[in-house]
């Protein structure tokens, strides 16, 4: 006997309700708990043969381009070089556009994969054109400008494709393009500037996370995870690649901000990125600044204790974060 039936029996025996009232209560609750009429929810289609073949085709095509670079690139003239990279890029864009017109979930996933692969292929095509033909005065002696142009083209294409199909793979392509652009900006001075590249990436990533939190950039979960990782990478890069102690505080500040944001926004992705950044910054900082005083064994003990503490913190916060995720 269910709890509801047991309660009805007690109420009848106590004289609070009669059998007719109990029957009406049963009918009301049965109607309320019945599934709403309408079409059954769609079940996500499993990957089919055609979808798998497309993935395989894009992978083989990309490997072919890489093999061409490694084996026969020096033997090709300028135009065949452009065709060798541009044809796969055009094919990936066209395949993604055609598959996107089909209704099957597998084809739409395949279109997202093709478009994500198209971003680096198009960027490679632009790089080859700039290197071979040097338009707009972008000669090979000014490779910093060429790299910056390639990064901007990749970002522009990734933005367009994300706007047309806001899916996880397009978010990944967008994040990769922003990472590339940040490194290109860091490469603009005479010598590569890790602080400039890292801070630029942090700014880009924070802006993307702000758009995700306000609902303007989707899917939100993928955006949170990817750009939280990029915030961590960008904050880590200046202090621990350039060796500047003052820049190390950026990593610790970013880690604290990610942890606080994770608690406030109920995001496990922020917590994960913040803990990973804090752990990496502490370990790197210990070895970089205190190895002579503490010694490697003590540093390893501290690092292990920090890792255990981070795991315990994640295990403790994970259930509450999942419940509070908006």
Q: Which residue has the higher pLDDT, 179 or 61?
A: 179
Average pLDDT, the chain: 83
Q: Which of 90-99, 150-159, 227-236, 273-282 has the lowest mean pLDDT?
A: 273-282
The tens digit of pLDDT for each residue in 62-74 reads 787 778 777 788 8
Cα(231)–Cα(219) distance, integer angstroms: 18
Q: Which residue has the higher pLDDT, 156 or 20?
A: 156
DSSP structural state of residue 171:
H
DSSP structural state of residue 40:
P
Residue 231 has pLDDT above 60, yes or no: yes
pLDDT confidence of residue 33:
63
Half-sphere exposure of 257 (CA within 13 A, CB side): 14
DSSP letters, 242-277, are S--HHHHHHHHHHHHHHHHHHHHHT-HHHHHHHHHH
Asked if residues 160 and 142 have their Cβ atoms less than 8 Å apart, the reply is no
Cβ-count burial 80-109 (b if 16+ within 10 Å, e if not): ebbebbbebbebbbebbbebbeeeebbbbb
The tens digit of pLDDT for each residue in 85-108 reads 898 899 899 989 998 888 788 888
Strand, coil or helix: what is 47? coil
The total of other beta-carbon atoms located within 10 Å of residue 25's CB is: 15
pTM: 0.76
* pLDDT range class, residue 22, cuts 50, 70, 90: confident
Cα(195)–Cα(138) distance, integer angstroms: 26
Percent of the chain with pLDDT over 70: 83
Cα(284)–Cα(252) distance, integer angstroms: 12
Instruction: Tell me the C-alpha to C-alpha distance, in Å, between residue 311 and each of 228, 260, 272.
Output: 18, 17, 10
Cα(23)–Cα(168) distance, integer angstroms: 51
Percent of the chain with pLDDT over 90: 39
Asked if residues 166 and 126 have their Cβ atoms less than 8 Å apart, the reply is no
Residue 268 has pLDDT above 50, yes or no: yes
Residue 43 has pLDDT above 80, yes or no: no
pLDDT confidence of residue 42:
44
Measuring CA to CA, which residue among 56, 174, 62 is closest to residue 117?
Answer: 62
Q: Which residue has the higher pLDDT, 214 or 305?
A: 214
- Looking at residues 212-239, what average pLDDT do you find? 93
């Amino acid at each position: 006997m269910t709890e509801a039936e047991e309660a009805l029996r007690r109420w009848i025996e106590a004289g609070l309700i009669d059998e007719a009232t109990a029957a009406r209560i049963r009918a009301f609750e049965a109607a309320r708990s019945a599934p709403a009429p309408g079409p059954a929810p769609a079940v996500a289609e499993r990957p089919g043969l055609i979808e798998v073949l497309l993935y395989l085709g894009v992978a083989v095509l990309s490997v072919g381009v890489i093999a061409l670079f490694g084996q026969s690139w020096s033997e090709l003239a300028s135009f065949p070089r452009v065709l060798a990279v541009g044809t796969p890029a055009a094919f990936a864009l066209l395949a993604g556009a055609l598959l996107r017109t089909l209704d099957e979930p597998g084809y739409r996933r395949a279109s997202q994969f093709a478009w994500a692969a198209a971003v680096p292929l198009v960027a490679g095509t632009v790089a080859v054109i700039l290197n071979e033909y040097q338009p707009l005065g972008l000669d090979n002696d000014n490779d910093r400008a060429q790299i910056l142009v390639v990064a901007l083209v990749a970002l522009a294409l990734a933005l367009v494709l994300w706007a047309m199909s806001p899916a996880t793979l397009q978010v990944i392509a967008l994040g990769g393009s922003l990472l590339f652009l940040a490194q290109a900006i860091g490469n603009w001075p005479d010598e590569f500037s890790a602080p400039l590249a890292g801070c630029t990436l942090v700014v880009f990533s924070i802006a993307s996370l702000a758009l995700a939190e306000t609902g303007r950039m989707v899917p939100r979960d993928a955006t949170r995870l990817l750009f939280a990782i990029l915030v961590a990478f960008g904050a880590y890069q200046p202090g621990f690649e350039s060796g500047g102690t003052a820049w190390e505080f950026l990593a610790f500040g970013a880690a604290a901000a990610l942890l606080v944001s994770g608690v406030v926004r109920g995001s496990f992705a922020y917590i994960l990125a913040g803990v990973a950044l804090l752990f990496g910054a502490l370990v790197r900082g210990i070895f970089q600044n205190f190895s002579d005083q503490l010694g490697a064994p003590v540093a390893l003990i501290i690092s292990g204790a920090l890792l255990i503490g981070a795991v315990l913190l994640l295990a403790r916060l994970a259930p509450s974060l999942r419940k509070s995720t908006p």
